[in-house]
C-alpha cells in the first residue's frame, strides 16, 4: 500500500483533544496522475418529467394528438373531430375544428400543459401550428393564454391570432405576450366559426430559450447544467434505453429530423412505480439526439450516448424471448455504427448528412459510446461481444463503456467486471444508490456492501478497464432525501474518486432533474416547477468538485494518526481520521493547488496542512458549503439558496527557519471546505 493510500485508507478511529490538531502533509511538487477532464459530469434521463415538461421548453403536452388517448391533455368543445391522414407520416393524427352552426358556440381546444404552463409576464411566447382550410379560402384562428384557475373577470393572460389560408398544410407562427406571470396557464385555440380548420402539431415555446433556439431548452434549467462545468454528459438513460420491451426501447433514429415527424414513445416511468403513477407521461422526442449533442457542445461536456444492446429491461423480462436473439442483433449494432457516423461522419456520409441538414455540418466529435444499461450475466456478455467487435473494427478510436449491472457489489457485479475485462471494454459503468454507511464506508457499510466508501477504488486493478461511476446518490436511511447530511457524505465519497483519478475516469450523480409535481425517483440533483428551480445541496457538492477538478492528483498524507487522543466523541460508525476525508489536486492551467476536506464528524476539527515544497506566507482562497442549521435542511423552491458554497480566504502561516507554508484551519462540524493556493 502506498503512502497516499495509507492516508485515508486506514480505517482507524482517532480521537482529538480540544487543542489537538490533525496534521496532513501535501506534496505540492510531486505531480501525480492526471485527472480526466471528463471526471465529474451529468447523467440525463427522461425520468421525473426531465425532458417533456422539464428541460425541453415545449409547453404543450400531446401537441400532435398521438397519445393512446388522443385528447389527453386537451379539453374540447364545439365540433372537434380527430382525423388520421395528416401531413406527418409518423404522427398522422390531427384535429378538425368545424363551425358549430351557432354564433357563440365556438369549436375550441384547450391544452393543460404539463401541470399547467408556466408563463412570465415580461416574456414572449412563440405559438406555432400546422394548419389548413380543407375547403379552401381562409379562416381566423384565435390563440389565448388563459388563467382559468383563479377567479378573474377576464381569463385571458394574452392572446394573438393567425389567418390560415388555403388547402395546403402550412406552418403558422405568432407571438403572445402574457400580461402577468402565472404557473398554471392553459392554451386555448379556437376558430371564428366561418370555416373549417385543420390543426396539427400545436406548439408553444418561450422565445427566451437556452441559446435562443426555437426547438429549445428551458433557459434556467440548461443554465444550471452549464454552471456545474460538467466534463461528460451521459444520455438518454437509464432504463428508458432498454425499454420495458424492445418495441418501447429508446431508438435514437426516431429522435432526429423535423420534430413534427418524430414518433411518440411511451415512457416507462409513467407506470413503473404504482405509488407515483403518471398516465400522461410519454416521450415526444422533441429533445432528441441532435439536441443532446448540441447541448453537450454548449456546456462543453463530452457526449456519452447509451444505446441498446438488444436486451429489454432484464428486471422486467426474465424470459429470453423478450430480447433480441444473437442472430437478430445486426440492426442494434447498426444503430451504434450509424450513431458514430451521425455524430462524427463527414457531411458526405449518409448519417453525417442528416446531422448537417439539421444545421450542424461540423462533427460533434463524440469519443465515448456506452452499450447497454444495467445489464448483467451471459445474456449481456454474449450480446455485447459482436458490438465491441464491430465498433472496434470501424471506429477503433471510440471508447466503449460496458456495465457491471445494477449492483455495486456481489456475484453478478464481479462477473460483470470479469467479462468487461475479457471483452476489453474501455470503461465499466457502475451504479450505486446506497445509504450513508456505503458512502462513509463504515463497518456496517463494509459488512453489508463490501468494498465501499472513499476507499472503494483504492484496491481496484489498475490494469483493466477504467471506472465510470455512472449513477450514484446517497439515499438516506429512514427515507430522507436531498438534505444536507447525505450530500456531505457524497462529498466525502468523492474525495475517494478524486484520489483514484488514475482509475476513475468519470462519475455522474443520478438522477438529474425532477418536477416537484411529477417525480418518480428521488433524491435528484435539480428540482423545478413550471417557473422556478432550485439546485440541491448535492448539486453544489458536484459543482465544487467539477469546477475545481484540477489536472493532476497530489499526494496528501496524514501524520501521527494514532498519537492523537482526546475527549471528542467519534461519530458512531465512522472510521478513519475522525471522520475527515480529503483529497488534493494541482491545476496546471491556473497553477494552483486545490485541497478538499470534508469533516463528517459532529465536532469541529483543527487541521494543519503542511504544504511541502512551498514557503512564505500565502493566501488560500476558500469555498465552504455554507450551512449552520439542521442536518435535515435542504434547499427548496421557496429557499433555493439556503445552503450553497460561500467564498472566503485564509492566511497560511509560515513555520521554521525555512518559512515553510502551513495551512491551518478549524473545520466546523459536518462541513465541506476547499482551499486554493497559488503556487506562483
Ligand atoms: O436513475 C434512475 C434509474 O436507476 C435508471 O434509469 C437506471 O439505470 C437505474 O436503475
Residue 577: predicted pLDDT: 73
- Mean pLDDT across 584-599: 97
How many Å lie between the centroid of ligand 1 and the Cα of residue 351? 29
The protein residue with its alpha carbon nearest to ligand 1, atom 6, reads: 238
* Domain shared by 129 and 15, yes or no: no
Give the end of a domain, one of 546, 571, 605.
546
Given a cut of 60, is residue 575 above it in pLDDT? no
Most confident region among 142-151, 329-338, 563-572 by mean pLDDT: 329-338
- Mean pLDDT across 577-599: 94
For residue range 609-648, list pLDDT tens digits in order: 999 999 999 999 999 999 988 999 999 999 999 999 999 9
* Domain shared by 318 and 233, yes or no: yes
Residue 591 included in any domain: yes
How many Å lie between the centroid of ligand 1 and the Cα of residue 557? 36
How many Å lie between the centroid of ligand 1 and the Cα of residue 114? 23
Atom of ligand 1 nearest to the CA of 510: 1
- CA dist 225 and 233 (Å) reads 10
Q: Which helix (H) or strand (E) holds 381?
A: helix 377-394
Q: What is the dihedral of CA 36, 39, 44, 47, to 10 degrees?
A: 150
| C-alpha distance from residue 553 to each of 27, 500, 549, 582 (Å) | 10, 8, 9, 12
* Domain shared by 175 and 238, yes or no: no
Selection from 471, 399, 12 nearest residue 239 by Cα? 471
The protein residue with its alpha carbon nearest to ligand 1, atom 5, reads: 238
The protein residue with its alpha carbon nearest to ligand 1, atom 1, reads: 511
Residue 560: predicted pLDDT: 56
Q: Kindly report the average pLDDT of the chain as a whole number.
A: 93
Q: What are phi and psi of 348, to 5 degrees?
A: -80, -15
For residue range 419-450, list pLDDT tens digits in order: 999 999 999 999 999 999 999 988 899 999 99
Residue 559: predicted pLDDT: 73
Q: Which CATH number is 134's domain given?
A: 2.60.120.260
Give the confidence band of 596 by pLDDT, cuts at 50, 70, 90: very high
Q: Is 237 in the pocket of ligand 1 (CB under 6 A)?
A: yes
Atom of ligand 1 nearest to the CA of 47: 2
Cα atoms found within 13 Å of the Cα of residue 340, Cβ hemisphere only: 22
Q: Please give the residue range of the domain that contains residue 619.
A: 3-35+551-678
Selection from 587, 616, 614, 594 nearest residue 675 by Cα? 594
Say how many domains are in the chain. 3
- CA dist 427 and 468 (Å) reads 6
- Mean pLDDT across 120-141: 97
Given a cut of 50, is residue 574 above it in pLDDT? no
For residue range 184-214, list pLDDT tens digits in order: 999 999 998 889 999 999 999 999 999 999 9
Residue 564: predicted pLDDT: 29
Residue 66 included in any domain: no
Q: Is 239 in the pocket of ligand 1 (CB under 6 A)?
A: yes
Instruction: Among 44, 46, 49, 237, say which to mutate for ligand 1: greatest number of ligand atoms within 8 Å of CB.
Output: 237
* Domain shared by 267 and 370, yes or no: yes
Give the end of a domain, one of 546, 563, 589.
546
Residue 62 included in any domain: no
* Domain shared by 9 and 44, yes or no: no
Residue 150: predicted pLDDT: 86
Q: Which helix (H) or strand (E) holds 391?
A: helix 377-394
* Domain shared by 248 and 261, yes or no: yes
Residue 69 included in any domain: no
Give the end of a domain, one of 546, 577, 595.
546
Q: Is 550 in the pocket of ligand 1 (CB under 6 A)?
A: no
Residue 613 included in any domain: yes
Residue 50 included in any domain: yes
Q: Which CATH number is 8's domain given?
A: 2.60.40.1180
Residue 401: predicted pLDDT: 98
Catalytic residue numbers, as ranges: 374
For residue range 355-399, list pLDDT tens digits in order: 999 999 999 999 999 999 999 999 999 999 999 999 999 999 999
Residue 168 included in any domain: yes
* Domain shared by 316 and 347, yes or no: yes
Give the confidence band of 479 by pLDDT, cuts at 50, 70, 90: confident
How many Å lie between the centroid of ligand 1 and the Cα of residue 460? 24
Q: Is 45 in the pocket of ligand 1 (CB under 6 A)?
A: yes
Q: Is 511 in the pocket of ligand 1 (CB under 6 A)?
A: yes
How many Å lie between the centroid of ligand 1 and the Cα of residue 456? 21
How many Å lie between the centroid of ligand 1 and the Cα of residue 427? 18
Q: Is 439 in the pocket of ligand 1 (CB under 6 A)?
A: no
* Domain shared by 528 and 587, yes or no: no
Residue 676: predicted pLDDT: 98
Q: Is 513 in the pocket of ligand 1 (CB under 6 A)?
A: no
* Domain shared by 429 and 561, yes or no: no
Residue 504 included in any domain: yes
* Domain shared by 406 and 524, yes or no: yes
Residue 20: predicted pLDDT: 73
Residue 2: predicted pLDDT: 39
For residue range 509-524, list pLDDT tens digits in order: 999 999 999 999 999 9
- Mean pLDDT across 263-287: 97
- Mean pLDDT across 264-279: 96
Q: How many C-beta atoms surround the C-beta of residue 528 within 10 A?
A: 26
Residue 152: predicted pLDDT: 81
Strands across the sheet with 125-132, in order?
79-83, 94-98, 197-206, 125-132, 170-176
The protein residue with its alpha carbon nearest to ligand 1, atom 7, reads: 238
Q: Is 473 in the pocket of ligand 1 (CB under 6 A)?
A: no
- CA dist 204 and 61 (Å) reads 10
Instruction: Among 47, 429, 512, say which to mutate for ligand 1: greatest number of ligand atoms within 8 Å of CB.
Output: 47
* Domain shared by 31 and 134, yes or no: no
* Domain shared by 136 and 230, yes or no: no
Q: Which CATH number is 478's domain given?
A: 3.20.20.80
- Mean pLDDT across 256-283: 97
Q: Is 236 in the pocket of ligand 1 (CB under 6 A)?
A: no
- Mean pLDDT across 486-501: 95
pTM for the model stands at: 0.95
- CA dist 238 and 221 (Å) reads 20
Amino acid at each position: 500500500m502506498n503512502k497516499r493510500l495509507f492516508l485515508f485508507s486506514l480505517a482507524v478511529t482517532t480521537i482529538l483533544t480540544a487543542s489537538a490538531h490533525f496534521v496532513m502533509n501535501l506534496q505540492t511538487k510531486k505531480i501525480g496522475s492526471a485527472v480526466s477532464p471528463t471526471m465529474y459530469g451529468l447523467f440525463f434521463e427522461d425520468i421525473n418529467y426531465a425532458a417533456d415538461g422539464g428541460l425541453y421548453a415545449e409547453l404543450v403536452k400531446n401537441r400532435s394528438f398521438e397519445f393512446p388517448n388522443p385528447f389527453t391533455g386537451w379539453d374540447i368543445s364545439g365540433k372537434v373531430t380527430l382525423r388520421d391522414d395528416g401531413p406527418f407520416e409518423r404522427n398522422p393524427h390531427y384535429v378538425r375544428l368545424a363551425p358549430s352552426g351557432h354564433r357563440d358556440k365556438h369549436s375550441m381546444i384547450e391544452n393543460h400543459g404539463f401541470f399547467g404552463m408556466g408563463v412570465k409576464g415580461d416574456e414572449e411566447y412563440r405559438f406555432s401550428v400546422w394548419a389548413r382550410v380543407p375547403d379552401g379560402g381562409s379562416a381566423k384562428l384565435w390563440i389565448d393564454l388563459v388563467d382559468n384557475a383563479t377567479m378573474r373577470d377576464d381569463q385571458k393572460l394574452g392572446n394573438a391570432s393567425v389567418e390560415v389560408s388555403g388547402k395546403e398544410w402550412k406552418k403558422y407562427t405568432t407571438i403572445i405576450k402574457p400580461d402577468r406571470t402565472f404557473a398554471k396557464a392553459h392554451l386555448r385555440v379556437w376558430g371564428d366559426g366561418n370555416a373549417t380548420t385543420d390543426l396539427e402539431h400545436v406548439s408553444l415555446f418561450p422565445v427566451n430559450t437556452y441559446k435562443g433556439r426555437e426547438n429549445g431548452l428551458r433557459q434556467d434549467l440548461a443554465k444550471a447544467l452549464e454552471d456545474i462545468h460538467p466534463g461528460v454528459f451521459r444520455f438518454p438513460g437509464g432504463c428508458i434505453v432498454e425499454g420495458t420491451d424492445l418495441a418501447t426501447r429508446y431508438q435514437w433514429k426516431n429522435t432526429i429530423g423535423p420534430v413534427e415527424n418524430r414518433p411518440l414513445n411511451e415512457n416507462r416511468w409513467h407506470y413503473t412505480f404504482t405509488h407515483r403513477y403518471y398516465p400522461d407521461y410519454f416521450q415526444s422526442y422533441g429533445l432528441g439526439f441532435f439536441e443532446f449533442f448540441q447541448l453537450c457542445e454548449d456546456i462543453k461536456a463530452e457526449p456519452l450516448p447509451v444505446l441498446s444492446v438488444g436486451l429489454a429491461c432484464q428486471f422486467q423480462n426474465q424470459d429470453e424471448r423478450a430480447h433480441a436473439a444473437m442472430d437478430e442483433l445486426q440492426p442494434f449494432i447498426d444503430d451504434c455504427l450509424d450513431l458514430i457516423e451521425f455524430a462524427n461522419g463527414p457531411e458526405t456520409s449518409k448519417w453525417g448528412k442528416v446531422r448537417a441538414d439539421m444545421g450542424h455540418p461540423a462533427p460533434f466529435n463524440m469519443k465515448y459510446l456506452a452499450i447497454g444499461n444495467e445489464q448483467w450475466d451471459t445474456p449481456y456478455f454474449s450480446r455485447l461481444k459482436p458490438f465491441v467487435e464491430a465498433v472496434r473494427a470501424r471506429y477503433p478510436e471510440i471508447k466503449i463503456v460496458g456495465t457491471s449491472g445494477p449492483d455495486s457489489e456481489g456475484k453478478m457485479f464481479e462477473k460483470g467486471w470479469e467479462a468487461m475485462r475479457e471483452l476489453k471494454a474501455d470503461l465499466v459503468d457502475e451504479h450505486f444508490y446506497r445509504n450513508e454507511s456505503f458512502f462513509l464506508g463504515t463497518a456496517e457499510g463494509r459488512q453489508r456492501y463490501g468494498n465501499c466508501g472513499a476507499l472503494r477504488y483504492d484496491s481496484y486493478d489498475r490494469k483493466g478497464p477504467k471506472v465510470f461511476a455512472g449513477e450514484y446518490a446517497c439515499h438516506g436511511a429512514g427515507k430522507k432525501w436531498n438534505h444536507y447530511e447525505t450530500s456531505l457524505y457524497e462529498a466525502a465519497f468523492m474525495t475517494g474518486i478524486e484520489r483514484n483519478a488514475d482509475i476513475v475516469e468519470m462519475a455522474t450523480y443520478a438522477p438529474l432533474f425532477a418536477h416537484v409535481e411529477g417525480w418518480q425517483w428521488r433524491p435528484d440533483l435539480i428540482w423545478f416547477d413550471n417557473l422556478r428551480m432550485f439546485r440541491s445541496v448535492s448539486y453544489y457538492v458536484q459543482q465544487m468538485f467539477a469546477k475545481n477538478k484540477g489536472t493532476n492528483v497530489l499526494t496528501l498524507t496524514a501524520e501521527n494518526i494514532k498519537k492523537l487522543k482526546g475527549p471528542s466523541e467519534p461519530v458512531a460508525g465512522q472510521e478513519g481520521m475522525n471522520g475527515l476525508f480529503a483529497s488534493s489536486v494541482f491545476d496546471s492551467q491556473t497553477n494552483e493547488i486545490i485541497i478538499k476536506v470534508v469533516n463528517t464528524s459532529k465536532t469541529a476539527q483543527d487541521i494543519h496542512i503542511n504544504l511541502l515544497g512551498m514557503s512564505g506566507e500565502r493566501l488560500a482562497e476558500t469555498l465552504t458549503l455554507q450551512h449552520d442549521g439542521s442536518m435535515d435542511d435542504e434547499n427548496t423552491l421557496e429557499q433555493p439558496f439556503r445552503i450553497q458554497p460561500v467564498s472566503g480566504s485564509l492566511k497560511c502561516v509560515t513555520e521554521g527557519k525555512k518559512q515553510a507554508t502551513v495551512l491551518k484551519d478549524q473545520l466546523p462540524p459536518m462541513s465541506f471546505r476547499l482551499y486554493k493556493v497559488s503556487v506562483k
